[in-house]
């Protein structure tokens, strides 16, 4: 067995609580999310997630039940997992005062799952980034009170791309609190360029969106301002690997870009982390070439249907040597998370169930 | 010298006439384009292209003067070049009756340049695809009367992506007339995700846009309906190479996508042509892996500033063997164009100047 086969951390997996809190204000917003009963299927409890009164997705108990998750991890070759809310629950589109109690509920729920499996599950919080002060307060609560390792952010906040300078105070707080950031595609641009069924939103527009979001972090010099920040992008950075050489050339060709972007785009890209969720060995190899073998970490999108079932097999298929496989499987994730993962230590004993 | 060094065809280069026609109707549209005098620079005549009364780009005589172009080609290692209008002149946003005389002027201008250098310059026409019948009529005129080899199309027509079924009658006509199609990024989606100077439109949003446009041609099964059509995409297909493995996996995971897309996306992608305009040898190698070495052709964006100066050097840097270099440099372009290029024949003598 290779080193990679011994330990592996998945940094991209999601949580949906079985129940979402009732709205406690006077007038429930139309887009307040809820979950409702769905028929049991394949021996698993299911819930429908309803958004705007419409069915958004059906999720199984894998989404909320830690014990079930801990059974699935070894089957996928995983030792530990970072869990974050299903992005459509991030609620940037609600009034901040409405979003806050919902996100607090999600954060408590995530923290409880992690507490049940210490050293195996690590949690990312959700913050109302439509109100930066509120978001910083909740970030502090997530890190200090709930022991979450950082936050999941959408790739845009109500249409404002995540690299926009207005979010800088939040990233400053992340750096100060040693909180990691995982940026996930959400409400993507480019929907007007899809031809085909609605699922193309996730399949094509998400990859396009997260690529532009990662590019925005480069063109705004985020990592030069916040050099200790540890920030990762979902879906292998989406289109970024293809945009980057053109951005690099444009940086050389256009004085205005050269003036705005203070370090070569290809160098700035190598200060970012990316997951491996690209579903193709050759593409993974290309990502390793573009971003470096130190910046990639396993991502699966567990427990959703459209997910990577055998992430370690993909690493092996890509032909990485054992040392590189170990980096992609867990060393890089430990560096990203800024801590040793207990489950990876030889003397670690399984947490309580 | 390698085979590639002997012959090379550039399929992506642009033309801007020195003068654009005056508007002959009663009320000139605000967005009617014009060119105005610009100071001579580096020994070259220049013109400002004005759109909506604002300066859009300054272009030099390389944009309209065939003799100047024919001097530059050998310096870039090129034998022949396909020329097409600067995409911002495609005029989908004008009333069809206004666009038609402007596009006819462009097409006559392109045809004249080609006639001056037979066998060295080949032309792509422009058609008012906002009116499909008019576009088919002009396509026929371009091919039959002007000896143009096909058309350049924008990646979207007033926001409707080029793979949309409503354009199918036009592609049917292209197939029937043996006219090639070169799809160029234009008025891109995702502008709301850029952070930085306006030039990022070309640099980032173009690559994102053309990737989604190429994907739309796959999800609408264009090449299954029109198997003899020869269609190419600019900028190496932009983001497509990164979107494709995810689309392939989504095709396997979502029944609705499987039902809509009638052949595996990775197979359909290999029925399309792409230029090599990616500014990076490793990326070019990855494109060759994803799309196949038979589907790539040199593209430079000559004569604009943001262009590939040494396309053959890039092929060599990518480490392709001589046979593959020859395919990328000219065999594939001949196959795409559906004809032998006179300049490549041993007994060819230079056309008149």
Smallest CA–CA distance, residue B210 to chain A, in Å, is: 10
Mean pLDDT of A321-348: 91
How many Cβ atoms sit within 10 Å of the Cβ of residue B3? 17
Q: Is A181 helix (H, G, I), strand (E, B) or coil?
A: strand
Q: Which alpha helices (H) appear in chain A, and where do they start and end?
A: 3-6, 66-75, 96-116, 132-144, 168-177, 200, 206-219, 222-225, 240-253, 255-260, 265-269, 281-291, 311-317, 322-326, 332-337
Per-residue pLDDT tens digits for B69-120:
999 999 999 999 999 999 999 999 999 999 999 999 999 999 999 999 999 9
Whether residue B3 is predicted with pLDDT greater than 50 in this model: the reply is: no
- Least confident among B71-75, B168-172, B343-347: B343-347
How many Cβ atoms sit within 10 Å of the Cβ of residue B146? 18
The closest CB to that of A216, out of B193, B215, B260, belongs to: B193
* A138, A107 contact by CB (below 8 A): yes
* A50, A34 contact by CB (below 8 A): yes
State how beta strands A160-161 and A180-184 pair: unpaired
Whether residue A11 is predicted with pLDDT greater than 90 in this model: the reply is: yes
Per-residue pLDDT tens digits for B191-248:
999 999 999 999 999 999 999 999 999 999 999 999 999 999 999 999 999 999 999 9
Q: How far is CA B171 from CA A34, A163, B174, in A?
A: 46, 40, 5
Running DSSP on this structure, what letter comes out for residue A302? B
pLDDT of residue B353: 41
The closest CB to that of B239, out of A156, A199, A239, belongs to: A239
Mean pLDDT estimate for chain A? 95
Percentage of chain B beyond pLDDT 90 is: 91
Half-sphere exposure of A240 (CA within 13 A, CB side): 37
pLDDT band at A196 (very low <50, low <70, confident <90, very high): very high
Q: Is B12 helix (H, G, I), strand (E, B) or coil?
A: strand
Chain A hits for B248, Cβ within 8 Å: 279-280
Euclidean distance between CA atoms B155 and B240, whole angstroms: 13
The closest CB to that of A250, out of B199, B216, B219, belongs to: B199
* Burial class for B292, CB neighbours closer than 10 Å (0-12, 13-18, 19+): middle
Chain A hits for B215, Cβ within 8 Å: 194, 204
Size of interface A-B (CB pairs under 8 A): 212
Chain A hits for B202, Cβ within 8 Å: 250
pLDDT of residue A266: 98
Q: How far is CA A137 from CA A105, A140, A160, A177, in A?
A: 15, 5, 21, 11
Smallest CA–CA distance, residue A123 to chain B, in Å, is: 26
Mean pLDDT of A289-295: 98
* A21, A105 contact by CB (below 8 A): yes
Residue with tokens 């100066």: B309
Whether residue A302 is predicted with pLDDT greater than 90 in this model: the reply is: yes
pLDDT of residue B61: 95
pLDDT band at A4 (very low <50, low <70, confident <90, very high): very low
Which one, of A242, A223, A236, A316, lies nearest residue A278 by Cα? A236
Mean pLDDT estimate for chain B? 95
Per-residue pLDDT tens digits for A201-228:
999 999 999 999 999 999 999 999 999 9
Mean pLDDT of A140-165: 98
Half-sphere exposure of B268 (CA within 13 A, CB side): 25
Euclidean distance between CA atoms B162 and B152, whole angstroms: 12
Euclidean distance between CA atoms B167 and B308, whole angstroms: 31
* B225, B197 contact by CB (below 8 A): no
Q: Concatenated DSSP letters for B221-261?
A: THHHHSTT--EEESGGGTTHHHHHHHHHHHHHH-HHHHHH-
* A151, A182 contact by CB (below 8 A): yes
Whether residue A2 is predicted with pLDDT greater than 60 in this model: the reply is: no
Euclidean distance between CA atoms B120 and B342, whole angstroms: 7
Mean pLDDT of B43-66: 93
Q: Is A124 helix (H, G, I), strand (E, B) or coil?
A: strand
Q: If you count DSSP H runs as helices and E runs as strands, how many of each does chain A have, helices first? A: 15, 13
Q: How far is CA A259 from CA A222, A262, A267, A270, B18, in A?
A: 15, 7, 16, 20, 32
Chain A hits for B164, Cβ within 8 Å: 195
pTM for this entry: 0.96
Bridge partners of A55? A50
B13: Cβ contacts below 8 Å, ≥ 6 apart: B81, B82, B83, B84, B299, B300, B301, B302, B303
- Please indicate whether, in this complex, the C-beta atoms of B243 and A283 are within 8 angstroms of each other: no
Whether residue B274 is predicted with pLDDT greater than 80 in this model: the reply is: yes
Euclidean distance between CA atoms B93 and B14, whole angstroms: 20
Euclidean distance between CA atoms B294 and B269, whole angstroms: 12
Whether residue A347 is predicted with pLDDT greater than 80 in this model: the reply is: no
* A272, A214 contact by CB (below 8 A): yes
For A305-329, give one letter per residue: b (16+ CB within 10 A) or e.
Answer: ebbbeebbebbeebebeeebbbbbb
Mean pLDDT of B144-170: 98
What is the ipTM for the molecules in this complex? Answer: 0.96
Smallest CA–CA distance, residue A220 to chain B, in Å, is: 7
Whether residue A127 is predicted with pLDDT greater than 90 in this model: the reply is: yes
Does an H or E element contain B215, and which?
helix B206-219
pLDDT band at B256 (very low <50, low <70, confident <90, very high): very high
- Please indicate whether, in this complex, the C-beta atoms of B240 and A241 are within 8 angstroms of each other: no
Helix pair angle (B206-219, B240-253), 10° resolution: 30
Residue A140 tokens, joined: 């502090």
- Please indicate whether, in this complex, the C-beta atoms of B289 and A306 are within 8 angstroms of each other: no
Phi, psi torsion values for B261, nearest 5 degrees: -105, 115
* Chain A nearest-CA residue for B278: A246
Running DSSP on this structure, what letter comes out for residue A344? G
Percentage of chain A beyond pLDDT 90 is: 91
- Please indicate whether, in this complex, the C-beta atoms of B208 and A219 are within 8 angstroms of each other: no
Smallest CA–CA distance, residue B318 to chain A, in Å, is: 13
* Chain B nearest-CA residue for A207: B243
* B182, B152 contact by CB (below 8 A): yes
* B287, B241 contact by CB (below 8 A): yes
Mean pLDDT of B129-138: 98
Phi, psi torsion values for B155, nearest 5 degrees: -70, -20
* Burial class for A1, CB neighbours closer than 10 Å (0-12, 13-18, 19+): exposed
Residue with tokens 């951005």: A247
Euclidean distance between CA atoms B341 and B350, whole angstroms: 13
The closest CB to that of B196, out of A199, A260, A283, belongs to: A260
pLDDT of residue A281: 98
Percentage of chain B beyond pLDDT 70 is: 97
Q: How far is CA B66 from CA B33, B89, B121, B252, in A?
A: 22, 19, 9, 50
- Residue from A57, A204, A250 whose CB has the most chain B CBs within 10 Å, to mutate: A204
Euclidean distance between CA atoms B128 and A345, whole angstroms: 66
Smallest CA–CA distance, residue B238 to chain A, in Å, is: 6
Euclidean distance between CA atoms A139 and A170, whole angstroms: 9
Phi, psi torsion values for A278, nearest 5 degrees: -125, -5
- Report the length, in residues, of chain A: 353
Cis ω before A169 (30° cut-off from 0): no
* A202, A184 contact by CB (below 8 A): no
CA A99 centroid distance within chain: 19
């Amino acid at each position: 067995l290779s080193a990679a086969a011994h330990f592996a951390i998945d940094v991209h997996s999601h949580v949906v609580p079985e129940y979402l809190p009732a709205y406690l204000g006077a007038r429930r917003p139309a887009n307040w999310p809820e979950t409702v009963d769905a028929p049991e299927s394949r021996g698993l409890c299911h819930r429908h997630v309803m958004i705007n009164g419409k069915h958004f997705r059906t999720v199984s108990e894998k989404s909320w039940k830690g014990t079930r998750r801990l059974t699935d991890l070894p089957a996928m070759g995983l030792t530990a997992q970072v869990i974050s809310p299903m992005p459509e629950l991030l609620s940037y589109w609600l009034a901040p005062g409405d979003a806050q109690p919902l996100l607090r509920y999600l954060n408590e729920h995530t923290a409880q799952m992690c507490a049940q499996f210490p050293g195996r599950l690590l949690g990312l919080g959700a913050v109302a980034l439509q109100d930066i002060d509120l978001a910083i307060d909740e970030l502090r609560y997530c890190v200090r009170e709930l022991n979450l390792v950082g936050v999941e952010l959408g790739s845009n906040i109500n249409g404002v791309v995540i690299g926009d300078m207005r979010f800088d105070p939040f990233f400053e707080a992340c750096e100060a609190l040693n909180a990691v950031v995982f940026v996930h595609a959400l409400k993507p641009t480019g929907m007007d360029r899809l031809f085909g069924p609605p699922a193309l939103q996730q399949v094509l527009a998400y990859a396009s969106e997260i690529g532009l979001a990662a590019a925005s972090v480069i063109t705004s010099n985020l990592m030069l301002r916040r050099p200790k920040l540890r920030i990762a992008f979902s879906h292998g950075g989406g289109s970024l690997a293809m945009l980057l050489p053109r951005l690099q050339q444009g940086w050389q060709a256009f004085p205005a870009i050269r003036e705005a972007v203070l370090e070569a785009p290809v160098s700035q890209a190598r200060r970012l982390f990316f997951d491996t969720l690209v579903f193709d060995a050759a593409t993974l190899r290309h990502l390793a070439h573009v971003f470096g073998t130190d910046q990639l970490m396993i991502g699966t999108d567990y427990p959703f249907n459209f997910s990577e079932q055998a992430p370690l097999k993909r690493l092996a298929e890509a032909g990485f040597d054992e040392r590189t496989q170990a980096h992609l499987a867990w060393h890089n994730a430990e560096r990203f998370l800024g801590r040793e993962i207990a489950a990876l230590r030889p003397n670690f004993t399984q947490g309580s169930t």
